[in-house]
Homo-oligomer: A and B are copies of this chain.
Amino acid sequence: MKNIIEVLKEYDIAPSMQRIKILEYLQNYKIHPTADMIYQALEDEIPTLSKTTVYNTLKTFTEKGILVALSLFENEVRYEYNTYPHIHFKCIKCNKIYDMDKSFDLYKDDIIDGHKVIEHHVNLKGVCKECIKEEE
């Protein structure tokens, strides 16, 4: 396993104690933790740790490219009336969500690796046609 301090330096991040522990946790526990999970796991080891530090650190890591943040539709639940399987495309500029009729292998109701699939979502994110126009 790569030295954590070197990884941080590689990404141009000062290797503070908090940052080292957080990255170490992420390397060891690949359960896609939330900020809160990380905080709870480390608060015994670093009793002064602040949740804000965890958020700040994760933000820094994500900005510098060490991590990827997963959360397609962020804080909002979106509702749709039609429910045939299709692909969603969300524009990062205007926040509109478009339906796309590209087909895909649907795993709904399949068993994969022993896990039972109930829902299958394909989500794209990018800049929509309209917003590309406006950029020019």
Within A44-74, which residues are at the interface with B (CB < 8 Å)? 58, 61-62, 66-73
* Closest Cβ neighbor of A66 among chain B residues: B81
Contact yes or no, B107 A117, CB < 8 A: no
Select one of B76, B102, B126 contacting A119, CB under 8 A.
B126
Partner of A132, one of B33, B35, B70, B114: B114
Identical subunits present? 2
Interface size class of A (residues with CB under 8 A): 35 or more
Known: A125-B118, A126-B115, A126-B119. A69 touches B62 (CB 8 A): no
Taking Cβ atoms with an 8 Å cutoff, the residues of A that contact B are: 26-27, 30-36, 38, 58, 61-62, 66-73, 75-83, 88-89, 91-92, 96-100, 102, 104-105, 107, 112-129, 132
